[in-house]
Amino acid sequence: MDALTEGYVTEDGRRIGGVLMEMKNITLRFGGVVAIKDISFDIREGEIRAIIGPNGAGKSSMLNVISGFYHPQEGEVWYKGGVRPSMKPFEVARQGVGRTFQNIALFEGMTVLDNVMTGRLTHMKASIWEQAIWWGKAEREEVHNREQVEKIIDFLEIQSIRKTPVGRLPYGLKKRVELARALAAEPSLLLLDEPMAGMNVEEKEDMSRFILDVNDEFGTTIALIEHDMGVVMDLSDRVVVMDYGKKIGDGTPDEVRSNQDVIDAYLGVAHD
């Protein structure tokens, strides 16, 4: 599959494009701890790509490299056909990489609507001065931002809680609000760190459906970390398997499931 440059068509008929992001020989150390050891893989346009592996394998670290939170000591990150220079997370976000966090990071005292609005910050071009002096531009921008946010709120079916402070919501809905905020930025690549962790079966089903719908409706490329193997196998087009910072498998869910290294390291044992 890696030899394909033009993309491929999935079993369910979705068209996957060329390489959007490529990690080349990434190594990341924290002092003496090697969180990522010489890992390479790519993410294709339109794909749902999963990263799996036991706790401490380096999965979150990998998403943090992609989102610019961590800077690897070795290797290159390629994005949209070129090497990405070392960047701050907000600059990476501006280039169209959105994310949610393993531990929810929302403003608990603010309403759902205001939280989702913060997702538009990367798109706000009018400065404070322009907002004061050149009222028209700032207002047009504000109207457009509101429209985008309302579209996402409708799409994720959270209209009924738009005025509710996030702190009052149950966990599953908070996760959905975090997804809404990430989507409000209209990312080309969306990174989801354990979007279904701690959810009950029904919440997981809802979240799975929303992830598929986002991919389908907005064409968003998605890279996600998930522990529930059923969910991973159902959702993802291709899977990277990590163990102790190394990549031990990479392929379709079927390929990964039958990979002996993966079975030994991960699938055969409890992992939480």
Ligand X SMILES: Nc1ncnc2c1ncn2[C@@H]1O[C@H](COP(=O)(O)OP(=O)(O)O)[C@@H](O)[C@H]1O
Kindly list the residues in this chain that would bind ligand X in the complex (CB under 6 A). Answer: 30, 33, 35, 53, 55-61
Residues of the shown chain interacting with Mg ion in the complex, contacts defined by CB under 5 A? 60
Shortest Cβ distance from residue 229 to ligand X (Å)? 15
* Nearest residue (CB) to ligand X, 63 versus 106: 63
Residue 2's Cβ-side half-sphere holds a number of Cα atoms within 13 Å equal to 9
- Among ligand X, Mg ion, none, the one that 30 touches (CB under a kind-dependent 5 to 8 A) is ligand X
* Nearest residue (CB) to Mg ion, 60 versus 122: 60
- Among ligand X, Mg ion, none, the one that 58 touches (CB under a kind-dependent 5 to 8 A) is ligand X
Q: Is 28 left (phi over 0), alpha (psi -120 to 50) or beta?
A: beta
- Among ligand X, Mg ion, none, the one that 175 touches (CB under a kind-dependent 5 to 8 A) is none
Shortest Cβ distance from residue 59 to Mg ion (Å)? 5
Residue with tokens 């354990």: 194
Shortest Cβ distance from residue 272 to ligand X (Å)? 10
* Nearest residue (CB) to ligand X, 55 versus 86: 55
- Among ligand X, Mg ion, none, the one that 120 touches (CB under a kind-dependent 5 to 8 A) is none
* Nearest residue (CB) to ligand X, 61 versus 67: 61
Residue 164 burial class via C-beta count within 10 angstroms: exposed 0-12, middle 13-18, buried 19 and up: middle
Output the six-digit token pair for 109.
């005292």
Smallest CA-to-CA distance from 187 within 105, 238, 122, 103 is with 122
Shortest Cβ distance from residue 40 to Mg ion (Å)? 20
Shortest Cβ distance from residue 93 to Mg ion (Å)? 20
Output the six-digit token pair for 104.
């929810």
Q: Is 93 left (phi over 0), alpha (psi -120 to 50) or beta?
A: alpha
Given a contact cutoff of 8 angstroms between Cβ atoms, the answer to whether 252 and 1 are in contact is: yes
Shortest Cβ distance from residue 53 to Mg ion (Å)? 9
**Type of residue at 33:** V
- Among Mg ion, ligand X, none, the one that 55 touches (CB under a kind-dependent 5 to 8 A) is ligand X
Residue 253's SS3 state is helix
* Nearest residue (CB) to ligand X, 60 versus 208: 60
119-149 in b/e burial notation, b at 16+ Cβ within 10 A?
bbebeeebeeeeeeeeeeebeebeeebeebb
- Among ligand X, Mg ion, none, the one that 181 touches (CB under a kind-dependent 5 to 8 A) is none
* Nearest residue (CB) to Mg ion, 186 versus 243: 243
